[in-house]
Structure 1
């Protein structure tokens, strides 16, 4: 599979799963069907939109492929009629978001690699693509953003996956294989944080030293 084909597949997959998470947040807020579609579409294409704007990439991903918006709308309608069947929408949201992050980060990395920007920008575009849609979803839905929840690896997971891809390409691994490794690292770190409590040390205030 070529890099372009893999990135396209990742963009569609991440948009679909992120759309489901947006619709789940809408269900938690008891919005109407229009609200479901808005939240799903916002979450689905938010990260890709920021990525394309920063890379001066035209047209934007959802303008070039309106089917992304249609897919998000269909996902929203499905969740509207089925969300009540879930035993825990909060838990479903957490797991779906983890998989969406693991797919969106390599999508952003792949697009940046295709444009030919520096490795630092490649890593940043991976992080932006993976996190911005979910951040917009949580802010608009008045939820505590997942990227700021204490004791969880989120941006760190995105950074670790994007950095892995850059290093593997530098070592000579084909880009598509590096993107798959990126997805695996992001998912492993995110699941490790959710299930086993992996986390970075938190800042703890200390009283100033007495002179």
Structure 2
């Protein structure tokens, strides 16, 4: 039986600290802006097609779910349940910067007492969301990401119960504006986890996204 806890990578601690620090700052600010400040009446529509938004001029909050299609080297040993995910994004120069937080459960395929593994990726991404010519409300979306996969093991087997590893990946999909500042989005995601023996994940994801205007103090601080 494969044991992920033996896949330990010794060179990811500094990156973990950076990702966590950035995640806390971005998520905390997004919750304040998105949850406490209503959108101004003069800015209910999206910016004009083809016109890039100013950096940090708005914040988008996303919530959705995902389904794992393939877990690579883990597939013979663990089965994956559908997961949930949230994301916060903001314009960043030519593209969009985002923070993703996800949660998913994997269960050992064999054994009397099947071990459960909770996986929680925290990923910083940057990508593009161009409008498609002639498609009106439809946009293409593509991004690359870097982050940490946090793992929590449920069994009493010998070994580390909490683990974290370097993660890199890419995402591509489409989004459709369904009215005002709301969009539905769906896509395909590939990620590689750099344990001592690395493995990959293929996922499909879908959800809804809502855009909010950022206040002036937010734009001033981050610019």
Instruction: Please state which band the TM-score falls in when normalised by the shorter chain.
Output: under 0.3
TM-score normalised by the chain length of structure 2: 0.25
CA radius of gyration, larger in: 2
In proportion to residue count, which structure has more strand?
A: 2
In proportion to residue count, which structure has more helix?
A: 1
